[in-house]
Structure formats: C-alpha cells, structure tokens
Structure 1
Amino acid sequence: MRWKRTIQLIDVHCEGEIGKIAVGGVPKIPGATIAEQLHWLNTDPKGEALRRFLVLEPRGAPIGSVNLLLPAKHPDADAGMVILQPDQAHASSGSNSICMTTALLESGIVEMKEPETVVVLDTAAGLVRAVATCHDGRCEKVTLTMVPSFVDTLDLPIATEEWGTISVDICFGGIFYALVDAASIGVKIEKANARKLVEAGMVLKDLINRTVPVTHPEIEAISGVAYVMFRDIDPDGAVRTCTTMWPGRVDRSPCGTGNSANLAALYARGKVKVGDVFKSRSIIGSEFEVGLSAVTTIAGRSAIVPTIAGRGFTFGLHQVALDPFDPLGDGFALTDVWGPSAGTIL
C-alpha cells in the first residue's frame, strides 16, 4: 500500500457516547507531561493535522471522540490519554476515560484481574483512577475518581438576545463548563430537542468565551469554557444533563466532567456532602452514578473530588489510513450534519 499514515483504533462507547481509542500507529507527541502534549496538539500544525485526520470526514464523523493512547508521563500511571474532538484536543473526559479503561482491559493491553482491576490514567488535568469491575473477561463497570473540581463563578448573569439575562455557573470538572438550567432557555432535555439545545449551547459558548476568560490556576494549558451543559432534575430526583459540543452535537452520555463541574456547584450551594451518591441521566436516558468522595483545595480555593461510575462497551476494531494523493486528506466538515458552526472549519 502507498499509505502515508495508518492508525489502528478500538471502537468503544460509554453509555451511548462513542470514544474510539487510537492504540497503534500514534506518532510521538512532543512534551514532558501530558499537559505539554495537549498544548502541542492544540498549537502545532502537525498536531492539528493529526486531529483533523482522525476526527473529520472522510475518516471521522460528527458523533464521538478519538482518544490517543500515550505512554504515561507520571510514574504512578498505567497509560496517558488526550481526547481529540473537532475543535481541539481536550484535557479530560469521564466517558472517554471509561472507554479507555474498557479498551485497555478487554484488549489485553493492561492485564485484567477479577473481580477488580485498577487502571490509573495520566491526563492533562491530572491523574484519573479507574476501578473496573471485571467478570469472565469483561469489564462490567468502571468507577472513576476524577481530578479535583471547583467553582470559578456562581450565578453569573449573561445577557443574551434570545433569552434575556440568564444565570450561568462557570465550574471546572476536568475542563471548564458553563452550567445552565434548561428552564432558563425554555427547552426540556429530551431527544426531540437535541438540535434546539445544541444550537443554544453554541450561541452561549461563543458569547461566554468572548466575555468571561477562565484559566486553570495551576495548568495553563487548560483555559476557556469547553462546553455548555444544560441541566434539570427528573421526577425521581436524578440530574438530567445535556452537554453541547462544538460544532453541533450533544453528548450521548450523562457527561463525567460536566457532572463533576456540576457537583462542585452543588457542594458550593450546600446541596451535597461527602459520601452522597446520586444518578445522572443523559438525553437518551443512559445513567452515571455521581459521588462526592472528598473535599480538598486547588490553588487555595475550595474543591471537591468526584466519582463517576458507568459502563463501556467495545464494538469493533478498525484502521484508518492517509493516501498521500488524496486531495481531501486534510479532512472536512459540512453544516448539513455537523451543525451550523461547522462552517468555520476550513
């Protein structure tokens, strides 16, 4: 074959959200830490080319992420990871960490031990500890201890043309979120409203990032609001979520980093305490168990340590390749399926 590049991937989804794992052919990513590698992927033309190769058409699709399996930089970690999406490389993700853990164990890259296997993931946001419940060669459930999460701003008033002034919480859960009550835009979190929610999320994300700069106090490579997550409460008390993702889709899972950010807001308002566990439900009805395991500090500010539990399922293996003569090798996206914001992808 005349291929210029080939990468092998394991297909996985976590509670409906696809998180493919690039396990073979991943090039060497410069950087002494995963955070430095994240920065390189987001600033160097070669990093951008790798991301476009994996996530845009004709090899990629609007749904899901591609996770780079990298050598761990931290001595306590089993593997490193960076999450690739159409806008940029991201520091952390709960659903993708569950996908990564499931793929590592069910492929044999990390030895599976029953009844539990502990896998420590090195991410740009810090170490994520995954405890996998294993039986008969299958990873049945993964419980993540996430990185410390904290509030940046509560009840921030944001003036909009569409909905008037709405209240937004800016919180960190591994990446920065703008948390918005769905009622404030008059839309319920349900399948039929996915397009309305994502279009609202894109408007709010752009507005917030133009007016509310945020940067992690200890990790300079993590800055800006990555996602807008709409939230509500179901009749049984479960938190209903819808994370909107650029350029125009919604997270199929309940969202691990988003629930971590929301948990920080709930703790700051005195609505949860250490030891509490509750259900979070996605727009398609899949569920995570969200828990508050500890209270800590980050750069002198109050923070909490969340846990996220959910299931990952492997569903395939595939290989993607780059033909050096392909005029569309750089990748592309169209607004018909990627959403209106895809028009800015050159």
Structure 2
Amino acid sequence: MSSNRHTFSCIDGHTCGNPVRVVVDGAPILRGETMSLRRQDFISRFDWVRRSLMYEPRGHDLMSGALLYPPARDDCDLGLIYIETSGCLPMCGHGTIGTVTVVIEHGLASPMREGELRLDTPAGLVTAAYQLDGENVESVRIENVPSYLHKADLIFDCPGLGKLKCDIAYGGNFYAIIDPQPGCDALDSLNVSDIKRLSPIVRTEVNNLLDVAHPLDATVRGVSHVMWTGHSTQPGAD
C-alpha cells in the first residue's frame, strides 16, 4: 500500500517578530530553468505544500516561509521559493532577512563572498549583506530587485472613504501606496482594525481597475500589498 505521507524539516525563525519558517529538507523537485518558472511549477503542482506548512494546525494566519533550492543562476549562492498564507510570492523582504539568518547560523549555504549571500528569487537577484556576532547573525541588509513606479494617482472608490488615489509601485511585489489626502488621513486617523478591514477592499478595487504585470515577467502580476502612509511621529524620520 502506498503512503501519502510527506516529511518536511523546518527551522522556525522570525524577523522583528514576523514569522519565517525555513524548509531545509523535503522541498519538492521543481521544473524550470529560472526561479520564476520554478515558482509557477510550484503553484501549479505543489500548492498543497504551502497550505500544509502555512495553514493551521501547523501554521497560522500570519505564517510565512521559504523553501531552499540550488540557484538557477551561476552568480548566486542559494535559490528561494517564498510561501505565505496568501500565496507564493515572487519576493518577501522580511522572509529574506529571516531566511538568511537561519541559513548562515545553521551553515546551510557557503557564500561565495564572506558577509554576503546572493539569492536567486522568482523576482530576480537579491543580495543580503549580513554581520556576525560570534556564531549569531546580528544584522541583515538586503539590496532588492530594481523597483519602479508603475502608475501614479490611480483613482478608485473605497467604501466608507469615497474616492481615493494611490500610487502603484513595484519592489519584488506590486504595492498600492495610499498617502494622506483630502478626505483620508491614512495612517494619521486609521486604527489597526480599519487597516485590516479596508486593505483587502482596496486591493480588490485596484486590481479590478488595473491589470498590473511586470514588463519583463508577465507571471508577476496583480497588486498583492497595500501600504498606508502617514506623517512621521519620531524625531529624525521623514
């Protein structure tokens, strides 16, 4: 009798409290000559892996993580596939920082350059500079893929707030960025419950208005993140 059981070895870490589950063994073999193509293969054939590791009872609604792979590029040390409760993203900032910490502290990769880990992600090359304090990673600083402004001043309807405008920008994922404006003070007046309630609505409205896709990789498409901004409250902040 065949068994449908699968075993995954994971190390759980975090980035400033944001969870990062690093899958160090058991990741499925993926097809594709690039990490972007491998991401598409993962989505089409192995989304059950993401759901099993991210959803309850093994995960929770804020869980995210990464699977480790050999890089598809010769100039990289490691390949990553990002998984979250929301899906399989091309890039994840906090996930990268947490994964680099786990990888270096547990000796899971041999960097070509000391103090730097070059990562082959579905979004492209991401470079992570890390500093050690003994055997522990003290800090990680990432250089992300090239970002750009996709569309400025997109006007949309937001229930309860009326017509708002946002900018659509790319930085590994597509973001709808909402600044304070007439009729909406954004972070200056919204509380956590407001943000959690309104953000999915904003994402849906924006995606209904605009078919967003990366000009160099059409598989990277759709606004996945909503960012609300506000006036600074700390000295020295812009």
Residues 157 and 205, structure 2, Cα contact 8 Å, conserved in 1: no
Deviation sequence 1:54-95 (CA, Å, 0-9, x none): 111121111230211111111011111111112320001111
Deviations 1:85-132 (A, max 9, x none): 123200011111111111110001125899x51100100111001110
Query: Which residue identity does 2:93 align to in structure 1?
Result: G
Look up the equivalent residue of 1:217 and give its one-letter code: P
Instruction: Look up the equivalent residue of 1:179 and give its one-letter code.
Output: I
Secondary structure at 2:49 match in 1: helix
Aligned 8 A contact 2:154 2:167 in 1: yes
Give yes or no for the alignment of 1:179 onto 2:177. Answer: yes
CA distance in 2, matches of 1:170, 1:130: 25
CA distance in 1, matches of 2:209, 2:236: 33
Please state whether the residue corresponding to 2:187 is helix, strand or coil.
coil
* 2:16 alignment counterpart: 15
Aligned to 1:134: 132
The alignment-based identity, stated in percent, is: 28
Question: Relative to 1, partners in 2 of residues 1:112 and 1:219: Cα closer, same or farther, differing over 3 Å?
Answer: closer
The answer to whether the 8 Å contact 1:187/1:196 transfers is no
Provide the C-alpha distance between the structure 2 equivalents of 1:113 and 1:78, rounded to a whole number of angstroms: 7
Query: Secondary structure at 1:96's aligned position in 2?
Result: helix
TM-score of the superposed pair, with normalisation by structure 1: 0.63
Other-structure match for 2:105: 106
Question: Looking at both structures, which has the greater relative contact order when contacts are Cα pairs under 8 Å and sequence separation is at least 6?
Answer: 1
| TM-superposed deviation, 1:231 | 1.4
- The offset of 1:193, in angstroms, is 2.5
With normalisation by structure 2, the TM-score equals 0.90
Q: Secondary structure at the match of 1:220?
A: strand
Q: Go from structure 1 to structure 2 and tell me whether the alpha carbon gap of 1:74 and 1:189 turns closer, same or farther (over 3 Å shift).
A: farther
CA distance in 2, matches of 1:189, 1:16: 24
Partners of 2:187 and 2:224 lie apart in 1 by 22
Q: Letter of the aligned partner of 1:123 in structure 2?
A: T
* Corresponding residue for residue 161 of structure 2: 163
Matches within 5 A, 1:142-291: 142-181=140-179, 185-186=184-185, 188=187, 193-235=191-233, 236-238=235-237
The Cα RMSD (Å) is 2.2
Gaps of 5+ in 1: 240-346
1:78 aligns with 2:77: yes
* Larger deviation, residues 135-144 vs 153-162: 153-162
CA distance in 1, matches of 2:66, 2:100: 11
Deviations 1:239-268, CA, capped at 9 Å, x for gaps: 6xxxxxxxxxxxxxxxxxxxxxxxxxxxxx
Secondary structure of the corresponding residue to residue 156 of structure 1: strand
Which whole-Å CA distance do the structure 2 matches of 1:226 and 1:66 have between them?
17
Question: SS at the partner of 1:6?
Answer: coil
Paired with 2:193 and 2:217, the residues of 1 have a C-alpha distance of 33
Amino acid at match of 2:10: L
Aligned residue pairs: how many? Answer: 234
In 1, the alpha carbon distance for the partners of 2:108 and 2:7 equals 19
Supply the distance in 2 between the matched residues of 1:93 and 1:143 (Cα, whole angstroms): 13
Structure 2 distance, partners of 1:18, 1:53, is 16
Judging changes above 3 Å, is the alpha-carbon distance between structure 1 residues 220 and 113 closer, same or farther for their aligned structure 2 residues? closer
Counterpart-to-counterpart distance in 2, 1:222 and 1:77 = 21
CA offset at residue 27 of structure 1? 1.4
Cα distance in 1 for residues equivalent to 2:236 and 2:222 = 31
Equivalent pair of 1:22/1:67 in contact (CA under 8 Å): yes
Contact kept in structure 2, 1:187 and 1:193, CA below 8 Å: no
1:113–1:134 contact (8 Å) kept in structure 2: no
Report 1:286-305 matches (<5 A).
Answer: none
Q: Distance in 1 between matches of 2:217 and 2:187?
A: 35
2:24 matched to 1:26?
no
Paired residue type of 2:5: K
Structure 2 residue matching 1:233: 3-state secondary structure: coil
Question: In the TM superposition, what is the alpha-carbon distance from 1:195 to its structure 2 partner?
Answer: 2.3
Deviation for aligned residue 1:185: 4.1
Q: CA deviation at 1:161?
A: 2.8
Partner of residue 35, structure 1 = 36
